Amino acid sequence: MFSLQPDEATAVQAVNDFVLFSVAGAGSLLSGAIYAAYGWLVLIYVVSVLVSVLLEVLLVDD
Amino acid sequence: MIAEKISWSSSPYWNICLLAFAWALTLSTSTLLTTVGPLSATSLGASKSLAAFTVGVFLIGAALSSVPSGWIFKRYGRFGGFALGCLCQVIGSALGTLAMFTDEIFWLYLGCLSIGLAQGLGQFYRFSAVEITPVDFKSRAITYVLSGGVIAAFVGPTVANFTVNLVSKDYVGTYLVVALFAGLNLLVICLVRFPPAKGRDEKQSPSSSRSISFREAPETRSTWTICSQPLFVISCTIATLAHTIMVMIMSNVSVDMNHNGYSFSNSSLTLELHFVAMFGPGFFTGKLIQKHGSFVVALIGGLIFAGSSVVLAIGTELWNYIVGMILVGIAWNFSFSAGTVMLTSSYRVRWRCCRFVGLRDILC
């Protein structure tokens, strides 16, 4: 079994946090543009596509 | 190796409570800014697309400071890192106030970015709370830290409601409270007795050996090796998708409610319930994951996300927004928590540690 030094756990966590906050930040910026251009309903549709991607990642990986 | 007495901390309860309080204040800043950010941008004449940018740049700020955060805390210690975060937050608050008085939206975005930088560093309050806790108190520490999220769910929107018209200029009161929160955080970190800063050459610091127990002296892999594993990629994808889906809806809901004629108190109530749904389940999601596994819980989260989309798409009545946003909150909690617990198994450490790392991330 592999064990990890705390510093390395922090580094992996930092990579995860960076990806997470960057993508979410970009998503937030994009969502404003979609909402302004096409309205609330289209935004929900776009988000639904992401939801289906999430479900697909989970089901395929399973 | 983990049961040794902690000499630098005379009263663990005192430190846990203080850090849990600091974490609650950090999250409250986040919920407060989410509640007023987009609407304050609109009041400065921002278009709908630019209104959500406030939340976007806030998150980008957190992303930016997450990169050097490990280095900052290692170099300047916990106190130095947190103090820097407080400073960023005060600067952000000042810029937000400046924006409101000058009607210049640029300052608002810069302020939100700066508050975001503080948020990235503030994430470490929750690590720190568990880190300085003796083993016997760990589960209690985690509970205290978890409750910070629920407190923030109420504090942010409630404070927003009371402060939005506090000063003659709208929203100025709210941005000043952001500085007040930073001031309180600074007071807290002055009172906490942090473990001494680590030397660079130390193999394992005393604090970390207490908080995380290791099976044996490890052979180390590079971060890249760990991060290119399929399990890391999948867990990071799940957590990132869950967070992005939630943020994309949350950034715009207050503006859309405002557009449909709902009052500020209606939209802040909706967000308040949404935040409660985000953090409330944290008390049992960990157990659920242990019992049914990360994939099942993430899948349930994904299905609840799908349900929330239906509720939000079928109408613009108040209940659509409230129920939809509550579902978004629960779905986020399930899939985000499951994703981060999976992440911990991408760097295989002992179960005790996994459980702790998993739980700490439920809060984020």
- Which residue type does B12 have? P
pTM score of the predicted model: 0.79
Q: Please, how many CA atoms are within 13 Å of residue A4, restricted to the half-sphere of its CB?
A: 24
- Which residue type does A26 have? A
| pLDDT score at B285 | 83
Minimal Cα distance from B238: which residue of A? A54
Q: How far is A60 from chain B (nearest CA, A)?
A: 11
Query: Where are the alpha helices (H) located in chain B, listed in sequence order?
Result: 12-43, 48-51, 53-102, 105-122, 124-131, 138-163, 172-191, 206-211, 223-227, 230-259, 264-279, 282-292, 294-313, 318-346, 351-362
Are B245 and A18 within 8 A, CB to CB? no
| pLDDT score at B231 | 80
Q: Give contacts of A 38-57 with B, CB under 8 A.
A: 40-41, 43-48, 50-55, 57
> Would you state the torsion angle of the CA atoms of residues B255, B257, B258, B260, taken in this order, to the nearest 10 degrees?
120
Q: How far is B316 from chain A (nearest CA, A)?
A: 10
Place of tokens 């709210």: B174
pLDDT values of chain B reduced to their tens digit, one per residue, 364 residues: 444 444 445 667 788 888 888 989 999 999 999 889 888 998 888 887 788 889 999 999 998 988 888 788 888 888 899 999 999 999 999 999 999 999 999 999 999 999 999 998 888 887 777 677 777 776 667 677 777 888 888 898 899 989 988 888 889 999 999 999 999 999 998 988 776 655 444 444 444 433 344 344 445 667 777 777 778 888 889 999 999 999 999 989 999 999 999 998 999 899 999 999 998 888 888 788 888 888 899 999 999 999 999 999 999 999 999 999 999 999 999 998 888 777 766 655 433 333 334 444 443 3
Report the residue of B50, B75, B198, B223 to disrupt the A interface, i.e. the one with the largest count of A CBs within 10 Å: B223
Task: Please spell the DSSP secondary structure of B85-150, one letter per residue.
Answer: HHHHHHHHHHHHHHHHHHT-HHHHHHHHHHHHHHHHHHTHHHHHHHHTS-GGGHHHHHHHHHHHHH
| pLDDT score at A62 | 52
Q: Which of A18-32, A34-48, B215-229, B250-264 has the lowest mean pLDDT?
A: B215-229
What ipTM was predicted for this assembly? 0.91
Angle, helices B318-346 vs B264-279, to 10°: value is: 30
Cα–Cα distance list, A56 to A50, B47, B317, B329, B333 (Å):
10, 34, 31, 21, 19
Task: Work out the end-to-end distance of chain B between its first and last CA atoms, rounded to an integer number of angstroms.
Answer: 29
Read off the tokens for B171: 């929203």
Place of tokens 């007795």: B193
CB pairs under 8 A between A and B: 208
Count CB-CB contacts under 10 A for residue A39.
13
> What is the per-residue burial (b if ≥16 Cβ within 10 Å, else e) of A15-27?
bbbbbbbbbbbbb
Are A28 and B48 within 8 A, CB to CB? no
Instruction: Give the closest of B208, B234, B244 to A24, CB-based.
Output: B244
Instruction: Give the closest of B70, B249, B348 to A11, CB-based.
Output: B70
